Amino acid sequence: MALSFFSPPALPIHRITCQALSVAVPSVAVAPLPVNPNSSLSCALNCTHFQSCSGCTQEYNLHHPVVIDEAIGFFNKLGIKDFSFDSCRLWGWRCRAKLAVRGSSTNPLIGLYEEGTHNVVDIPDCKSHHPNINAAVQLLKKGIIELNVEPYDEDQGTGDLRYVQMAVTTHDTSLPIPERYKNGKVQVSLVWNSRSENSANTGKLNALANFLWGNGGPKRKVHLIHSVWANFQTSSNNIIFGNRWRHLLGERDFWEHIGGIDVSLVPSSFGQANTRELV
Protein backbone atom coordinates (compact mmCIF):
# COMPACT_ATOMS: atom_id res chain seq x y z
CA MET A 1 0.00 0.00 0.00
CA ALA A 2 1.41 3.41 -0.92
CA LEU A 3 0.30 6.85 0.19
CA SER A 4 1.42 10.37 -0.70
CA PHE A 5 0.45 13.10 1.73
CA PHE A 6 1.51 15.95 3.98
CA SER A 7 1.89 14.63 7.51
CA PRO A 8 1.13 16.73 10.62
CA PRO A 9 3.85 17.42 13.21
CA ALA A 10 4.45 14.76 15.82
CA LEU A 11 6.79 14.57 18.76
CA PRO A 12 9.86 12.33 18.30
CA ILE A 13 9.66 9.23 20.46
CA HIS A 14 11.96 6.57 21.83
CA ARG A 15 10.94 2.94 21.64
CA ILE A 16 9.65 1.98 25.08
CA THR A 17 8.06 -1.19 26.37
CA CYS A 18 5.95 -1.01 29.50
CA GLN A 19 3.80 -3.52 31.38
CA ALA A 20 1.40 -2.75 34.22
CA LEU A 21 1.95 -5.11 37.14
CA SER A 22 -0.24 -3.41 39.70
CA VAL A 23 -2.77 -0.62 39.95
CA ALA A 24 -2.14 -0.07 43.65
CA VAL A 25 0.60 2.52 43.89
CA PRO A 26 2.60 2.61 47.11
CA SER A 27 4.67 5.67 47.90
CA VAL A 28 8.18 4.66 46.89
CA ALA A 29 11.31 6.44 45.81
CA VAL A 30 12.05 6.40 42.08
CA ALA A 31 15.02 4.18 41.24
CA PRO A 32 16.79 4.99 37.98
CA LEU A 33 17.69 2.34 35.46
CA PRO A 34 21.14 0.93 36.30
CA VAL A 35 23.99 2.44 34.34
CA ASN A 36 27.28 0.66 33.87
CA PRO A 37 29.97 3.27 34.71
CA ASN A 38 32.34 1.58 32.28
CA SER A 39 29.91 2.24 29.42
CA SER A 40 29.92 6.04 29.81
CA LEU A 41 32.90 6.64 27.54
CA SER A 42 31.98 3.86 25.12
CA CYS A 43 28.61 5.59 24.64
CA ALA A 44 30.06 9.11 24.36
CA LEU A 45 29.24 11.43 21.46
CA ASN A 46 32.94 12.19 20.81
CA CYS A 47 32.04 15.23 18.70
CA THR A 48 34.37 18.21 18.41
CA HIS A 49 31.38 20.52 17.86
CA PHE A 50 29.54 19.66 21.09
CA GLN A 51 30.49 22.75 23.12
CA SER A 52 29.47 25.21 20.39
CA CYS A 53 26.75 23.46 18.36
CA SER A 54 23.17 23.54 19.67
CA GLY A 55 22.13 20.30 17.98
CA CYS A 56 22.96 17.85 20.80
CA THR A 57 22.38 18.24 24.55
CA GLN A 58 23.97 15.07 25.96
CA GLU A 59 27.62 14.16 25.51
CA TYR A 60 27.99 10.99 27.58
CA ASN A 61 25.80 7.95 28.37
CA LEU A 62 23.93 8.30 25.09
CA HIS A 63 22.28 4.94 25.79
CA HIS A 64 20.68 6.45 28.90
CA PRO A 65 19.12 9.89 28.18
CA VAL A 66 18.30 11.99 31.24
CA VAL A 67 14.61 11.92 30.33
CA ILE A 68 14.50 8.17 31.00
CA ASP A 69 14.69 8.67 34.79
CA GLU A 70 11.81 11.14 34.49
CA ALA A 71 9.84 8.57 32.48
CA ILE A 72 10.45 5.92 35.14
CA GLY A 73 8.99 8.22 37.77
CA PHE A 74 5.98 9.01 35.59
CA PHE A 75 5.14 5.36 34.92
CA ASN A 76 5.78 4.36 38.55
CA LYS A 77 3.06 6.78 39.59
CA LEU A 78 0.69 4.93 37.26
CA GLY A 79 1.59 1.57 38.75
CA ILE A 80 3.70 0.52 35.78
CA LYS A 81 6.87 -1.11 37.07
CA ASP A 82 8.28 -3.19 34.24
CA PHE A 83 10.01 -0.59 32.07
CA SER A 84 12.56 -1.14 29.31
CA PHE A 85 14.25 1.31 26.96
CA ASP A 86 15.81 0.67 23.55
CA SER A 87 18.06 3.52 22.44
CA CYS A 88 18.56 2.09 18.93
CA ARG A 89 21.24 3.78 16.81
CA LEU A 90 23.37 6.22 18.84
CA TRP A 91 25.41 7.74 16.00
CA GLY A 92 24.53 8.58 12.42
CA TRP A 93 20.79 8.39 13.13
CA ARG A 94 19.60 11.80 11.91
CA CYS A 95 18.14 11.42 8.41
CA ARG A 96 16.63 14.89 8.12
CA ALA A 97 18.47 18.15 8.85
CA LYS A 98 17.76 21.83 8.20
CA LEU A 99 21.06 23.72 8.12
CA ALA A 100 21.86 27.42 7.85
CA VAL A 101 24.31 28.56 5.15
CA ARG A 102 26.47 31.56 6.05
CA GLY A 103 30.09 32.69 5.67
CA SER A 104 31.44 33.54 2.25
CA SER A 105 31.69 31.99 -1.20
CA THR A 106 35.31 31.07 -0.45
CA ASN A 107 34.64 29.81 3.08
CA PRO A 108 31.02 28.68 3.42
CA LEU A 109 29.70 27.68 6.85
CA ILE A 110 26.93 25.07 6.88
CA GLY A 111 25.51 24.06 10.23
CA LEU A 112 23.37 25.14 13.17
CA TYR A 113 23.19 28.33 15.19
CA GLU A 114 25.25 28.59 18.34
CA GLU A 115 22.75 28.50 21.19
CA GLY A 116 21.16 31.88 21.85
CA THR A 117 22.73 33.49 18.77
CA HIS A 118 22.50 33.61 15.00
CA ASN A 119 26.16 32.71 14.63
CA VAL A 120 26.41 29.59 12.48
CA VAL A 121 28.61 26.76 13.72
CA ASP A 122 30.11 24.80 10.83
CA ILE A 123 29.59 21.09 11.62
CA PRO A 124 31.46 18.86 9.16
CA ASP A 125 31.42 15.18 10.14
CA CYS A 126 28.48 15.66 12.53
CA LYS A 127 28.22 12.51 14.67
CA SER A 128 24.42 12.56 14.67
CA HIS A 129 23.92 13.01 10.92
CA HIS A 130 23.59 10.07 8.60
CA PRO A 131 27.05 9.83 6.98
CA ASN A 132 25.57 10.61 3.57
CA ILE A 133 24.24 13.94 4.85
CA ASN A 134 27.80 14.83 5.84
CA ALA A 135 29.00 13.77 2.37
CA ALA A 136 26.28 15.85 0.65
CA VAL A 137 27.17 18.90 2.77
CA GLN A 138 30.80 18.61 1.68
CA LEU A 139 29.73 18.34 -1.95
CA LEU A 140 27.52 21.41 -1.55
CA LYS A 141 30.42 23.37 -0.07
CA LYS A 142 32.57 22.43 -3.04
CA GLY A 143 29.85 23.65 -5.42
CA ILE A 144 29.46 26.96 -3.55
CA ILE A 145 33.19 27.61 -3.83
CA GLU A 146 33.56 26.59 -7.47
CA LEU A 147 30.49 28.50 -8.66
CA ASN A 148 31.03 31.57 -6.44
CA VAL A 149 27.61 31.22 -4.78
CA GLU A 150 27.18 33.82 -2.04
CA PRO A 151 25.81 32.54 1.30
CA TYR A 152 23.06 34.64 2.84
CA ASP A 153 23.99 37.73 4.86
CA GLU A 154 21.32 38.16 7.54
CA ASP A 155 22.28 41.74 8.40
CA GLN A 156 22.21 42.99 4.82
CA GLY A 157 19.54 40.65 3.43
CA THR A 158 21.87 39.83 0.54
CA GLY A 159 23.39 36.66 -0.88
CA ASP A 160 22.00 33.65 -2.68
CA LEU A 161 21.74 30.52 -0.51
CA ARG A 162 20.01 30.89 2.87
CA TYR A 163 19.46 27.34 4.11
CA VAL A 164 19.64 23.77 2.93
CA GLN A 165 17.50 20.82 3.98
CA MET A 166 19.09 17.38 3.64
CA ALA A 167 16.81 14.35 3.89
CA VAL A 168 17.90 10.72 3.45
CA THR A 169 15.64 8.06 2.00
CA THR A 170 16.66 4.56 3.07
CA HIS A 171 13.71 2.79 1.46
CA ASP A 172 15.33 1.36 -1.67
CA THR A 173 13.57 -1.90 -2.44
CA SER A 174 16.20 -2.81 -5.03
CA LEU A 175 18.68 -3.43 -2.18
CA PRO A 176 18.64 -6.10 0.55
CA ILE A 177 17.21 -4.67 3.78
CA PRO A 178 20.56 -4.72 5.68
CA GLU A 179 22.17 -2.55 2.95
CA ARG A 180 19.48 0.11 2.64
CA TYR A 181 20.46 2.37 5.51
CA LYS A 182 24.12 2.81 4.61
CA ASN A 183 23.21 3.35 0.95
CA GLY A 184 20.58 6.01 1.61
CA LYS A 185 20.32 8.80 -0.96
CA VAL A 186 20.02 12.48 -0.06
CA GLN A 187 17.24 14.81 -1.18
CA VAL A 188 18.74 18.32 -1.24
CA SER A 189 16.45 21.35 -0.87
CA LEU A 190 18.16 24.69 -1.53
CA VAL A 191 16.47 27.70 0.08
CA TRP A 192 17.22 30.49 -2.39
CA ASN A 193 17.10 34.20 -1.62
CA SER A 194 14.75 35.20 -4.44
CA ARG A 195 11.03 35.42 -5.08
CA SER A 196 10.84 32.80 -7.84
CA GLU A 197 12.73 30.83 -10.46
CA ASN A 198 12.47 33.87 -12.75
CA SER A 199 14.59 36.13 -10.53
CA ALA A 200 17.95 37.45 -11.71
CA ASN A 201 20.15 35.23 -9.51
CA THR A 202 18.56 31.88 -10.38
CA GLY A 203 21.20 31.16 -13.00
CA LYS A 204 23.51 30.26 -10.12
CA LEU A 205 20.76 28.16 -8.57
CA ASN A 206 20.49 26.02 -11.69
CA ALA A 207 24.27 25.80 -11.96
CA LEU A 208 24.53 24.62 -8.34
CA ALA A 209 21.76 22.06 -8.83
CA ASN A 210 23.53 20.73 -11.93
CA PHE A 211 26.81 20.58 -10.01
CA LEU A 212 25.25 18.47 -7.24
CA TRP A 213 23.53 16.16 -9.71
CA GLY A 214 26.55 15.85 -11.98
CA ASN A 215 28.89 15.02 -9.10
CA GLY A 216 26.52 12.97 -6.95
CA GLY A 217 23.88 11.62 -9.32
CA PRO A 218 23.35 8.18 -10.88
CA LYS A 219 26.22 8.52 -13.37
CA ARG A 220 28.78 8.69 -10.58
CA LYS A 221 30.43 5.65 -8.98
CA VAL A 222 28.72 6.54 -5.70
CA HIS A 223 25.11 7.62 -6.26
CA LEU A 224 24.67 10.08 -3.38
CA ILE A 225 22.02 12.59 -4.49
CA HIS A 226 18.38 11.47 -4.69
CA SER A 227 17.04 14.80 -6.02
CA VAL A 228 17.47 18.56 -5.91
CA TRP A 229 14.65 20.97 -5.04
CA ALA A 230 14.49 24.74 -4.71
CA ASN A 231 12.53 26.80 -2.23
CA PHE A 232 12.22 30.57 -2.69
CA GLN A 233 12.31 32.77 0.40
CA THR A 234 12.97 36.51 0.73
CA SER A 235 11.39 37.17 4.12
CA SER A 236 13.58 38.75 6.82
CA ASN A 237 12.00 36.68 9.62
CA ASN A 238 13.25 33.38 11.04
CA ILE A 239 10.97 31.17 8.94
CA ILE A 240 13.19 28.84 6.93
CA PHE A 241 10.92 27.97 4.00
CA GLY A 242 8.88 30.18 1.71
CA ASN A 243 5.69 29.02 0.02
CA ARG A 244 7.12 28.48 -3.46
CA TRP A 245 8.81 25.17 -4.33
CA ARG A 246 10.29 23.78 -7.53
CA HIS A 247 11.57 20.29 -8.31
CA LEU A 248 14.79 20.70 -10.29
CA LEU A 249 16.52 17.35 -10.80
CA GLY A 250 16.30 13.68 -9.85
CA GLU A 251 13.38 11.68 -8.53
CA ARG A 252 10.25 13.52 -7.49
CA ASP A 253 8.95 10.88 -5.08
CA PHE A 254 10.75 10.48 -1.75
CA TRP A 255 9.72 7.25 -0.04
CA GLU A 256 9.78 6.23 3.60
CA HIS A 257 8.47 3.03 5.16
CA ILE A 258 6.39 3.91 8.21
CA GLY A 259 4.53 1.33 10.26
CA GLY A 260 4.34 -1.10 7.37
CA ILE A 261 3.12 1.52 4.88
CA ASP A 262 5.10 3.14 2.05
CA VAL A 263 4.71 6.93 2.25
CA SER A 264 5.88 9.54 -0.28
CA LEU A 265 6.89 12.90 1.24
CA VAL A 266 7.57 16.19 -0.50
CA PRO A 267 10.32 18.44 0.97
CA SER A 268 7.78 20.64 2.76
CA SER A 269 6.24 17.62 4.55
CA PHE A 270 7.01 16.98 8.18
CA GLY A 271 9.17 13.90 8.64
CA GLN A 272 10.84 12.31 11.63
CA ALA A 273 14.62 12.79 11.76
CA ASN A 274 15.16 9.30 13.17
CA THR A 275 13.55 7.09 10.56
CA ARG A 276 14.82 3.87 12.17
CA GLU A 277 12.20 4.46 14.89
CA LEU A 278 9.40 4.36 12.31
CA VAL A 279 9.93 0.89 10.85
Q: What is the pLDDT of residues 187-227, one digit of tens each?
A: 999 999 999 998 888 999 999 999 999 999 999 999 999 99
* 38/2 Cα distance (integer angstroms): 45
- In our burial notation (b when 16+ CB lie closer than 10 A, e otherwise), range 49-86 reads beeebebbeeeebbbbeeebeebbeebbeeebeebebe
pLDDT, tens digit (0-9, with 9 covering 90-100), for 150-162: 999 999 999 999 9
- End residue of a domain, out of 86, 118, 145: 86
Residues 50 and 112 in one domain: no
Q: Are residues 189 and 144 in the same domain?
A: yes
pLDDT at 276: 64
Residue 9 lies in a domain: no
Cβ-in-10-Å burial (0-12, 13-18, 19+) of 168 comes to buried
Query: pLDDT: is 108 or 7 the higher one?
Result: 108
CA angle (203, 160, 208) in 5-degree steps? 45
Which has more confidence, 66 or 187?
187
- Confidence at residue 212, expressed as pLDDT on a 0 to 100 scale: 98
Q: Which domain holds residue 38?
A: 14-86
* Average pLDDT of the segment spanning 221-244: 94
pLDDT tens-digit map of 260-269: 888 888 899 8
Per-residue confidence (pLDDT) for residue 259, from 0 to 100:
78
Q: How confident is the model at residue 29, as a pLDDT?
A: 40
Q: Are residues 71 and 134 in the same domain?
A: no
In a domain, 221, yes or no: yes
| 171 and 144 assigned to the same domain | yes
Task: Among 86, 105, 124, give the residue marking a domain's end.
Answer: 86
In this predicted structure, what is the pLDDT of residue 51? 65
CA distance 79 to 181: 38
* Better-scored residue on pLDDT, 8 or 62: 62
Q: Is residue 4 part of a domain?
A: no
- The larger pLDDT score, comparing residue 97 to residue 77, is at 97
Q: Are residues 255 and 139 in the same domain?
A: yes
Residues 171 and 81 in one domain: no
Give yes or no: residues 158 and 205 share one domain: yes
Phi then psi dihedrals of residue 70, to 5 deg: -65, -40
Same domain, 128 and 209: yes
Q: Is residue 7 part of a domain?
A: no
State what percent of residues in the chain have pLDDT above 70. 72
Residue 199: CATH number of its domain: 2.40.50.1070
pLDDT value at position 237?
Answer: 87
Check whether residue 31 and residue 122 sit in a common domain. no
Number of domains in the chain: 2
47 band by pLDDT with thresholds 50, 70 and 90: low
Same domain, 145 and 38: no
Q: Does some domain include residue 63?
A: yes
Cα 243 to the chain's mean position, in Å? Answer: 21
